[in-house]
Amino acid sequence: MDASTLRAAQAPLKERYRADPATARTTTAATGDYRAPDVTATIDGFAGPVRAGLHPATGGAGTDACSADLLLQAVLACAGVTLRAVATAMGVEIRGARLRADGWWDARGTLGIDREAPVGVQDIVVTLVVDTDADDAALARLATATERYCVVGRSLAEPPRIRVVRA
């Protein structure tokens, strides 16, 4: 997809959202259940079910997806797609890329051992190594725009509300 094709695809959407901002509010959802045994949750993903479980640092066997890994994968997917869209809109050719997200978490917080230890993935860094002829100024604009428009990254600024209700 080139910049003109992307603009053509987005133009009617942008026009509608400007004219009627309420139509821009888009719902999204994820579903899952406890179909598998042990301390796991099976989440219905785009490519099929994903069984999430405890990380070995919290008592898991390491055979299930770790929630922290899934979080980094979601951030990386979003940043990767966002960068590609921004680059396309800017007319920056990216011939290829290597994408990586890194962070750390403290098992003491997750296990409730130390109330001062943080709970959650900390210091997330997304590194997008691109094969391009773009200059450093263009790469800086790509980074700024990707950070600004990455939905998952922006969503991390506010934790979700957790509700538990009876069936």
CATH of the domain at 15: 3.30.300.20
Residue 149 covered by a domain:
yes
% of the chain with per-residue pLDDT over 90:
97
Residue 89's domain comprises 3-155
CA angle 85/80/47 to nearest 5° reads: 105
Tally of domains within the chain? 1
Q: pTM score > 0.85 for this model?
A: yes
Structure tokens belonging to residue 87: 């680059």
Residue 142 covered by a domain:
yes
Of 44, 167, 166, 66, nearest to 120 by C-alpha is 66
Q: Is the pLDDT of residue 157 over 90?
A: no
**Tens digits of per-residue pLDDT, 139-156?**
999 999 999 999 999 999
Specify the residue for token string 């899934």: 70
Residue 113 covered by a domain:
yes
Element (H, E) at 71: helix 67-90
Which DSSP string corresponds to 98-156?
EEEEEEE--HHHHTTS-TTS--S-EEEEEEEEEE----HHHHHHHHHHHHHH-HHHHHT
Residues 72/121, Cβ–Cβ less than 8 Å:
yes
Q: What pLDDT, on a 0 to 100 scale, did the predictor assign at position 36?
A: 94
What is the distance between the alpha carbons of residues 99 and 129, in angstroms, rounded to a whole number?
Answer: 6
Residue 62 covered by a domain:
yes
Mean pLDDT over all residues of the chain?
95
3-state secondary structure of 61: coil
Residue 128 covered by a domain:
yes
Residues 16/26, Cβ–Cβ less than 8 Å:
no
Residue 165 covered by a domain:
no
Q: Is the pLDDT of residue 93 over 90?
A: yes
Residue 161 covered by a domain:
no
Residues 132/93, Cβ–Cβ less than 8 Å:
yes
